[in-house]
Amino acid sequence: MSPTDCGVCADDDVARPDLSDPAPALPSARAVVLTLIALAMGGFAIGVTEFAAMSVLPDFARGLGVDEPTAGHAISAYAAGVVVGAPLLAVLGAKAPRWLLLIIFMALFAVGNGLSALAPTFEWMLFFRFLSGLPHGAYFGVAALVAASIVPREIRTRAVSTILMGLTIATVIGVPVASLVSQAYGWRWTFVIVAVLALLTVVLVAAFAPRDAARPGAGALRELAALKNRQVWLTLGVSAIGFGGMFAVYAYLASTLREVTGVGPEIAAWVFAVFGIGMFSGNILGAWAGDRFGFKAAAGLLIWSAIALALYPAASHNLWTLLPVVLAVGAGGGLGSILQTRLMDVADEAQTLAAALNHSAFNTANALGPLLAGTAVAAGLGWGATGWVGVGLTLGGLAIWAIAAWDGRRERDGAA
């Protein structure tokens, strides 16, 4: 089987395409660690703004004079920015060195969040959140390619997961801290913190990221070739629908804790930390499972998530039953690194666009989950309905996974 044939394979017991450009010798262990720390700092900054915006949603809703379901549109605006920005910036930057792209993307991210802190009205907030989201997916996509290029192939998923680990650490530490800062000094300081973290990432990437040259033959047309690949679209579909379940619950967790569980914001901050611990743990286990079982690991995590989300409505009435369920829902976030490396395997030469599109899909889920969950709540179905919306979206992602697996086997058998 040729490397190109592997682009349609659903399982990982076959040869993978060569992702080198060509690749130089691997850097030293110290250089790898420093590079991954620099890349993970960007993931941390993105994680704080993405998840803290949800945790402080009641605060900026009051501050900007809108109700909470309406304030949820700011989350959707950020996600829309990711969906638009990831492919656009990936294609526009196809000929640039990856280290330079990372610096540009993080600088733009810092500007967007700084402006969000200054938003005078909710309408401006929507625009600034959209602007902040533009570089999100492109940064993660390029950072994942850099991480995968500096380690042996057999631990690619774990290397990619370190970037997402920055995001999960943000949910454990950054989001609770941002929530406490919001309570003490106002919600605008949450976005100031993110802007500072983004600028720190710029410094770290400039200092430690490998100075790769532009890829030979790179360009917009080669990147756009990813759009012809059916397996790319199916993998993106798993992300866009399957991840929506987690966001359906997370976006309204603060409101559920207040209205259903009956706890105050000081307790809510720790519940968000429990969610983050779940994401951190799921990211580690998901990365291991991805390196060990390939695309099959995604199905296992989707089933896990569906069960956890189904338990959420009943568990939300008591803090002690809710905590383990929130932990389990967070663990479903381990799906991210599995899908990221899956796209590396099926995208052939269009690596940058495919890697970035995964975060467009992820934030399609970030927009879709809160939108459908907010609609269910607004219709009078109660805050617990967010869990059932999550179950439906997660099972939808599992159905797309099954189609992708079937299609990959069919194409592989036809090419044999």
DSSP string, 8-64: G-SSSSSPPPP--SS--PPPPHHHHHHHHHHHHHHHHHHHHHHHHHHHTHHHHHHHT
By the 10 Å C-beta count (0-12 exposed, 13-18 middle, 19+ buried), 188 is classed as middle
Q: How confident is the model at residue 414 (pLDDT cuts 50, 70, 90)?
A: low
> Using a CB cutoff of 8 Å and minimum separation of 24, what contacts does 376-380 make?
377/69, 377/252, 378/69
| Percent of the chain surpassing pLDDT 70 | 88
> Under DSSP, is residue 211 helix (H, G, I), strand (E, B) or coil?
coil
Report the percent of the chain where pLDDT is more than 90: 23
379: DSSP letter: I
Mean pLDDT, residues 327-351? 82
> Residue 270: exposed, middle, or buried by beta-carbon count in 10 A (0-12, 13-18, 19+)?
middle
Contact 72, 53 (CB under 8 A): no
At residue 9, does pLDDT exceed 60? no
What DSSP character marks residue 318?
Answer: S
* pLDDT tens for each residue of 264-318: 777 887 888 888 888 888 888 888 888 888 888 899 999 999 999 999 999 989 8
Rg of the chain in Å (alpha carbons): 20
- For the cut 80, the answer to whether the pLDDT of residue 376 exceeds it is yes
Per DSSP, 359 falls in state H
pLDDT of residue 320: 92
Which of 389, 392, 363 has the alpha carbon at shortest distance from 376?
389
CA dist., res. 410 & res. 367, Å (int): 33
* Model pLDDT for residues 163-198, shown as the tens digit of each residue: 878 877 877 777 778 777 877 888 888 899 899 999
Place of tokens 């199916």: 234
User: What is the C-alpha end-to-end distance of the chain, expressed in Å?
Assistant: 7
pLDDT confidence of residue 392: 94
Q: Which domains are present in the chain?
A: 5-415 (1.20.1250.20)
Confidence category of residue 16, pLDDT binned at 50, 70, 90: very low
205-251 confidence digits (pLDDT tens): 998 888 876 665 555 656 666 667 788 889 989 989 998 899 899 88
Instruction: Give me 309's structure tokens.
Output: 């989300």
Nearest-CA neighbor of 395 among 166, 287, 241? Answer: 241
Rounded to whole angstroms, the Cα distance separating 340 from 69 reads 31
